[in-house]
Structure 1
Amino acid sequence: MLYTAKKTASLIIDGGNDYIIGLKQNQPTLYKMAQTQAQKETPLSCATTFENVHSRLVQRECKVFAAPEQIQKKWSGLKSFVVVERQGERDGQPFYERQFYICSQCLAAQELLADIQGHWGIENRLHWVRDVTFSEDFPPRRGGNAPVNWSILHNFFITIARQLGFRTIPQAQRALSNQLHKVFSFFV
């Protein structure tokens, strides 16, 4: 069953939980309102962090805005809009990114920034690996149970790689490609 973002937000709130949902341009009205809000309104809260890790210098700025009442009525539990701007250098090249979020809570910017960074950690450590390293968005094996079976094997391999302390999945693939006895030792 395909759920819309509004239905998903409603299910989350009905389940007694809260949400932070990243906005994309496929929600044009909400996305435009967030852009306008960020330009014209005064934020309820702001926070800035600086990080210098893996030869990347990154500044993150988070601003929290109250959601307008007309939008709150359309989205279950909606309380605030969040804008996160990232800028800095990656491998000597400057970058700038801006992401909008809707949130069912009105939290301080520092707390929201930490929550959003935590989510990106999950995204980078799992979903990115599945999409890029294992090409799950464009599987060569289609039909029947093949995609699900390969996904299970990928999850198994990711778990083994993490358990063995590899920093990256490609590093684990190279190291374990001729070490099947190590891989099979997880079965016993």
Structure 2
Amino acid sequence: SHERRFYLSSLAGRPEQILAAVRQHWEVENKLHWMLDVVFGEDDHRYAKDHGPENLAVLRHMALNLLNREPSKGGMKRKRKRAALSDEFRSTLLMLLLQP
């Protein structure tokens, strides 16, 4: 099969440069937003009062970054559950905040 996609953009440049920019955008979407949706269920949260949505988004990003930095084997969901149940593992994650 053959698919054709059209994009509207104000980018100037060669088609190869524009294609690279589009792929870079989708790489962020697939790596970050997908992970936030799957691991943290971000799309299911309904905090709409005051600064709640922004504050919780910052906390989820921080947690995801810490889980990414932690070197043990296992998926993100498993690490998140482990952090919820183990004071020792949670302390290990928080110690990562002190490392440059």
Encode CA deviations 1:77-133: one digit per residue, 9 max, x unaligned.
Answer: xxxxxxxxxx7xxxxxxxx76432123234333322222111111111212222333
Encode CA deviations 1:22-60: one digit per residue, 9 max, x unaligned.
Answer: xxxxxxxxxxxxxxxxxxxxxxxxxxxxxxxxxxxxxxx
1:103-182 pair list within 5 angstroms: 103-165=9-71, 169-177=76-84, 178=86, 179-182=89-92
Gaps of 5+ in 1: 1-86, 88-95
What SS does the corresponding residue of 2:7 show, helix, strand or coil?
strand
1:175 Cα deviation after fit = 4.8
- Looking at structure 2, the residues matched to 167 and 118 of structure 1 have their Cα atoms a distance apart, in angstroms, of 27
Between the aligned residues of both structures, percent identity stands at 23
- Looking at structure 2, the residues matched to 135 and 98 of structure 1 have their Cα atoms a distance apart, in angstroms, of 32
The answer to whether the 8 Å contact 2:69/2:96 transfers is: no
1:170 maps to amino acid: K
1:23-42 pair list within 5 angstroms: none
1:185 Cα deviation after fit = 1.1
The answer to whether the 8 Å contact 2:47/2:53 transfers is: yes
1:138 maps to amino acid: D
- Looking at structure 1, the residues matched to 96 and 78 of structure 2 have their Cα atoms a distance apart, in angstroms, of 19
1:154 Cα deviation after fit = 0.3
The structure where strand makes up a greater share of residues is 1
Closer, same or farther: CA 103–144 of 1 in aligned 2, 3 Å: closer
The answer to whether the 8 Å contact 1:176/1:182 transfers is: no
TM, length-normalised to structure 2: 0.65
Closer, same or farther: CA 97–144 of 1 in aligned 2, 3 Å: farther
The answer to whether the 8 Å contact 1:130/1:136 transfers is: yes
**Does structure 1 residue 183 correspond to structure 2 residue 93?**
yes
- Looking at structure 2, the residues matched to 157 and 129 of structure 1 have their Cα atoms a distance apart, in angstroms, of 12
The structure where helix makes up a greater share of residues is 2
1:121 maps to amino acid: E
1:149 Cα deviation after fit = 2.7
CA RMSD of aligned residues (A): 3.0
Structure with larger Rg: 1
